[in-house]
C-alpha cells in the first residue's frame, strides 16, 4: 500500500469539500478499494471516509412507502432493518460476501463501484431506485453506464438510495464458486404498473434490464410467460467460470425461479 492522507468528516458538506483535493477518493466500507490499494493497484492521495457521516446511515420508510437507505449503511444493517419493509432487498443484502464484508461494505460503495457481478445494482435497477447524491437525484435507469461505470461525477457522493417497494420481488443469485459474487443474479420486481427484471453478473455492459421478459411478465406474471424467451449469448461475459452461452441460459433460468419465488 502506498502512503495516503486520511479524513473522516462528520457531514456531507465536509466530505464534499475534502474530496475536492487532487486525487482524493471517497471510501465507503473499503471492501474493494482497500484490497486494491494493498495490491498497489490504486494510489489515491487522500481517502475520505464516509462512515462517520450520521446523515448517511440507516434505513427508513418514507411516507409514500418508499424505502430510503443511507449511502454509508452497511449490508448487514440493510439485511436487518429492511427485512419487514422490503424482504427481497434485505435477503439480497444478507447474502453479499461474508459477515465481515456485510458489516463493513456499504450500499453506496457498492453502487458507486458498480462491479458487473455485484448484487446491489440488480436490486437498484429492478426496483427503479433513485440514486441520491450530494448534488442531484439520478434514476437507476440513467445511473448504470457499464462495467464499473456510473453517472457519478468526480467527487460526487451517494448520500442515499430511495427504493420504491414493489408488490412482490425476488432475487436469485447463482454464486461464482471462488468469489461468491454473482456468476449471474436476477432481480425481479413486480409493481402495480409493470414488472422490472434486472440481470447482474452476465453482461459485458454490466447490469441490464431484460425488457422482453418484463413485457411478458407485465401481462402474465408467471414462469410460463417466459417460455420461449431467451437472451442472446452475444455480449455476455465469458471467463473461467462460465461461457457467454451459459450465462445467457442461466439468466433465463434464474428469472423463472425469481418469478416463481415472488409469485
Residues at the contact surface with another protein, assessed by CB under 8 A = 1, 39-40, 174, 177-179, 181, 183, 239-243, 245-246, 249-250, 253
Least distance (Å) between residue 11 CB and another protein: 33
Cβ(209)–Cβ(189) below 8 Å: no
Q: Which is nearer to another protein, 26 or 250 (CB)?
A: 250
Q: Which is nearer to another protein, 13 or 179 (CB)?
A: 179
Q: Which is nearer to another protein, 1 or 149 (CB)?
A: 1
Q: Which is nearer to another protein, 77 or 118 (CB)?
A: 118
Pairing of strands 46-49, 5-7: parallel
Least distance (Å) between residue 188 CB and another protein: 17
Least distance (Å) between residue 179 CB and another protein: 4
- Between CA 75 and CA 29 the distance in angstroms is 10
Cβ(235)–Cβ(252) below 8 Å: no
* Total Cβ atoms within 10 A of residue 83: 15
Close Cβ partners of 118 (under 8 Å, ≥ 6 residues apart): 96, 110, 181, 182, 200
Close Cβ partners of 1 (under 8 Å, ≥ 6 residues apart): 37, 38, 40
Least distance (Å) between residue 174 CB and another protein: 7
Q: Which is nearer to another protein, 253 or 261 (CB)?
A: 253
Beta bridge partners of 189: 169, 196
Least distance (Å) between residue 262 CB and another protein: 18
Q: Is 112 helix (H, G, I), strand (E, B) or coil?
A: helix
Amino acid at each position: 500500500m502506498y502512503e495516503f492522507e486520511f479524513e473522516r468528516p462528520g457531514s456531507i458538506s465536509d466530505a464534499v469539500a475534502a474530496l475536492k483535493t487532487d486525487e482524493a477518493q471517497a471510501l465507503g466500507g473499503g471492501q474493494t478499494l482497500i484490497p486494491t490499494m494493498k495490491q498497489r493497484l490504486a494510489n489515491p492521495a487522500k481517502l475520505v471516509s464516509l462512515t462517520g457521516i450520521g446523515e448517511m446511515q440507516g434505513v427508513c420508510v418514507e411516507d409514500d412507502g418508499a424505502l430510503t437507505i443511507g449511502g454509508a449503511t452497511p449490508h448487514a444493517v440493510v439485511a436487518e432493518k429492511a427485512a419487514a419493509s422490503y424482504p427481497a432487498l434485505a435477503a439480497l443484502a444478507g447474502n453479499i460476501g461474508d459477515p465481515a464484508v456485510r458489516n463493513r461494505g456499504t450500499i453506496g460503495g457498492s453502487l458507486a463501484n458498480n462491479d458487473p457481478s455485484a448484487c446491489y445494482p440488480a436490486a437498484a435497477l429492478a426496483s427503479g431506485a433513485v440514486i441520491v447524491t450530494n448534488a442531484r437525484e439520478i434514476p437507476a435507469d440513467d445511473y448504470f453506464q457499464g462495467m464499473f461505470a456510473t453517472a457519478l461525477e468526480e467527487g460526487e457522493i451517494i448520500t442515499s438510495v430511495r427504493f420504491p417497494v414493489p408488490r412482490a420481488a425476488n432475487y436469485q443469485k447463482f454464486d461464482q464458486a471462488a468469489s461468491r459474487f454473482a456468476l449471474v443474479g436476477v432481480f425481479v420486481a413486480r409493481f402495480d404498473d409493470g414488472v422490472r427484471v434486472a440481470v447482474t453478473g452476465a453482461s459485458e455492459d454490466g447490469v441490464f434490464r431484460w425488457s422482453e421478459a418484463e413485457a411478458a411478465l407485465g401481462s402474465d406474471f408467471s414462469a410460463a410467460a417466459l417460455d420461449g424467451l431467451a437472451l442472446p449469448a452475444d455480449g455476455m461475459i465469458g471467463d473461467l467460470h462460465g461461457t457467454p452461452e451459459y450465462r445467457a441460459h442461466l439468466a433465463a433460468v434464474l428469472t423463472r425461479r425469481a418469478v416463481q419465488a415472488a409469485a
